[in-house]
Amino acid sequence: MRIDSLEHRPGSGFRDDGRRAAPDASPDAPAVSARRICKAYGGTEVLRDIDLDVAPGETVCILGPSGSGKSTFLRCLNWLEEPSSGTVLLDGQPIGRLPGRDGRPRPMNARELAAARTRVSMVFQHFALWPHLTALGNVVEAPVHVLGRPRSEALAEGRRLLERVGLAERADAYPHTLSGGQKQRVAISRALAMRPKLLLFAEPTSALDPEMVGEVLAVMRDLARGGQTMIVVTHEMAFAREVADRIVFLDGGRVVETGTPDAFFTRPHTERAQRFLARYAR
Amino acid sequence: MTFDDVLTLLAAASITLGLSVAGIALGLPIGLGLALLRSARLPVLDQAIAALVSLVRAAPIVTLALFVFFVLPEAGLELAPIPAAVVTLTLNTAAFDCEIFRAGLAAFPRDQLEAASAYGLRPATRFRRIVLPQLWRASLGPLVSEMTIVLKGTPAVAVIGVVEITRAAGRIGAQTYEPLPPFLAATVLYTALIAVLVRGQRFAEARIARRYGYAVS
């Protein structure tokens, strides 16, 4: 599991050339490179040997039935879940474990982990806004207190980001006064304020009333078109089909099928994917 | 009851107030510190703090006051009555505050903590910026309730020679053979002090509810 001896197995991901795991970031390093991610709770394996490379600018949608491990996998990418084994590189840099003195991996300390996480932002299913801060306060919190950006600068950028998601007038509102869709758009602004290399979406519309799903998806569509690197765990099939560059289909903790949206939705080649899609077609 | 007696009662009230404020002011940070130490679940320390907190919570304030005043000197810590009273009240309220903060920490929404970690907030920053501002608001009710208990617990330190409201009222009653006026005055004084606390709590809670929209217990 040494970080400098990662093997890129053929067919395991996007643009494999076996030299992507260089310790320093290069312009064409994958935004994320996950290798052989396994996760077990007690004796239950929820992720088995998942590989994923995502190129800068790419949008990947992870689909799969409930319990397939897609959310757990997403949470492994920013180390909110610690994989039982496997490695994750964000923009060429490891997260979660570092090579130790003896060459064996050692867990990152709190400071190292926090630093690694500044490269990846996450949008949560239940928003996870901080209720004691205004919309703008939520957006500037991490840029100011983690990245150390000057407050005035962060506030100006925060206002721009809120404007971008259509919430310029709600900058000083507290989360409890916002609708679900508005909360999620604030959460997206908060994510963007970190200028992340990679943006993770954990079922961002699953907790929303149906009429609010559209406004959130519209913002995400804009981001994808604007070249933001994104991994989206979702049940919104129409969105995935329209916006994703690539679909990764998980079932039983494994990658069962991966391909372009067109290939996946029109001619899925595994029986599992066919059954999954049949349920949504109805 | 003469004018002098009224002055004596007012002086005693300032002692009661001073002791309470000192105990509360020292007990709050100590209680918070203990709660944080416990939430870190450090092997031996955790059990040690748990045992100590249980012991202090179980001990009547009178007993604790006698312990501090008469037993600690054996260990080389000799305190005058007033400092001993402050130590007693601090210990007592810190133990209860610890439990209040511990409950608040245990109930803190996990998703907010997770979001803070995901955005790179280190544990100390996360506590200062995300947890503490909400923790004290959520704990306000139980904390004020505990403060009133401290205030009402102050007569217990009379046992080590501190003259606070109740002790002063007792003396006046004994000298004049008219216990009703001084004890009535004492009751009014306690009520006034507690009313200030409760008013402050209501005011703060109303502000919090208006601004942040989350109810506080």
- B144 to chain A, minimum CA–CA distance in Å? 21
To 5 degrees, how large is the angle CA A143–CA A75–CA A91?
60
Nearest CA in chain B to A113: B120
Quote the pLDDT of residue B159. Answer: 93
DSSP category for residue A95:
E
- Residues in B closer than 8 angstroms to A149, CB to CB, are none
Nearest CA in chain B to A129: B112
Q: Give the pLDDT confidence of A180-221 residue by residue, as tens digits.
A: 999 999 999 999 999 999 999 999 999 999 999 999 999 999
Quote the pLDDT of residue A43. Answer: 86
pLDDT level of residue A14 (50, 70, 90 thresholds): very low
Would you list the DSSP string of A130-168? Answer: -TTS-HHHHHHHHHHHTS---HHHHHHHHHHHHHHTT-G
Q: Is B39 on the interface with A (CB under 8 A)?
A: no
- A151 to chain B, minimum CA–CA distance in Å? 15
pLDDT beyond 70 at A249:
yes
Mean pLDDT of chain A: 89
Q: What is the CATH number of the domain that holds B134?
A: 1.10.3720.10
Q: Give the pLDDT confidence of A48-65 residue by residue, as tens digits.
A: 999 999 999 999 999 999
A193 token code pair: 């304020």
- A16 to chain B, minimum CA–CA distance in Å? 28
Q: Is A141 on the interface with B (CB under 8 A)?
A: yes
Residue B201 parent element (H or E) = helix B180-212
Compute φ and ψ for A21, nearest 5 degrees.
-90, 25
B102 falls within a domain: yes
B217 falls within a domain: no
DSSP category for residue A193:
T
Residue A105 parent element (H or E) = strand A105-107
B180 falls within a domain: yes
Quote the pLDDT of residue A3. Answer: 42
Q: Where in chain A is the domain with CATH 3.40.50.300?
A: 3-119+196-281
B57 token code pair: 């919570």
Q: Give the pLDDT confidence of A80-116 residue by residue, as tens digits.
A: 999 999 999 999 999 999 988 888 889 999 999 999 9
- Phi-psi map region of A231: left, alpha, beta (phi>0 left; psi -120 to 50 alpha): beta
Nearest CA in chain B to A195: B119
To 5 degrees, how large is the angle CA B64–CA B69–CA B74?
110
Coil vs helix vs strand at B189: helix
Would you list the DSSP string of A212-243? Answer: HHHHHHHHHHHHHHTT--EEEE-S-HHHHHHH
Q: How many CB pairs under 8 A join A and B?
A: 72
User: How many C-beta atoms lie closer than 10 Å to residue A150's C-beta?
Assistant: 10
- Number of domains observed in the structure of chain B: 1
Quote the pLDDT of residue B214. Answer: 59
Compute φ and ψ for A47, nearest 5 degrees.
-130, 135
Q: Give the pLDDT confidence of A167-181 residue by residue, as tens digits.
A: 999 999 999 999 999
Q: Is B123 on the interface with A (CB under 8 A)?
A: yes
pLDDT beyond 90 at A8:
no
Tokens 């304030």 belong to: B61
Architecture of domain A3-119+196-281: 3-Layer(aba) Sandwich (3.40)
Quote the pLDDT of residue B174. Answer: 94
Q: Give the pLDDT confidence of A119-141 residue by residue, as tens digits.
A: 999 999 999 999 999 999 999 99
Residue A36 parent element (H or E) = strand A32-41
B14 falls within a domain: yes
B131 falls within a domain: yes
Question: In this structure, which amino acid lies at residue A145?
Answer: H
Coil vs helix vs strand at A264: helix
Would you list the DSSP string of B42-111? Answer: -HHHHHHHHHHHHHHHHS-HHHHHHIIIIIGGGGT----HHHHHHHHHHHHHHHHHHHHHHHHHHTS-HH
Q: Which residues contact A199 (CB under 8 A, 6 or more apart)?
A: A120, A121, A122, A123, A191, A192, A223, A228, A229, A230, A231
Q: Is B114 on the interface with A (CB under 8 A)?
A: yes
Quote the pLDDT of residue A101. Answer: 86
Q: Which residues contact A189 (CB under 8 A, 6 or more apart)?
A: A135, A139, A158, A161, A162, A164, A165, A167
- B71 to chain A, minimum CA–CA distance in Å? 43
Q: Do B125 and A145 touch (CB under 8 A)?
A: yes
pLDDT beyond 80 at A9:
no
Q: Give the pLDDT confidence of B2-41 residue by residue, as tens digits.
A: 899 999 999 999 999 999 999 999 999 999 999 999 998 8
How many Cα atoms sit within 13 Å of B164 on the Cβ side?
A: 24
DSSP category for residue A108:
-
Where chain B has pLDDT below 50, the residues are: 215-217
Specify burial of residue A66 (Cβ count, 10 A radius: 0-12, 13-18, 19+): exposed
Q: Is B117 on the interface with A (CB under 8 A)?
A: yes
Q: What is the ipTM of this complex?
A: 0.86
User: Which residue of B119, B122, B125 to mutate against A (max A Cβ within 10 Å)?
Assistant: B119
Residues of the domain holding B156: 3-212
Stretch A24-37: mean pLDDT: 80
- Residues in A closer than 8 angstroms to B211, CB to CB, are 174
Nearest C-alpha neighbor of A196 from the set A141, A116, A106, A110: A116
Q: Do B119 and A131 touch (CB under 8 A)?
A: no
Could you report how far apart the first and last alpha carbons of chain B are, in Å? 42
- A34 to chain B, minimum CA–CA distance in Å? 18
Q: How far is A73 from A254, CA to CA, in rounded Å?
A: 10
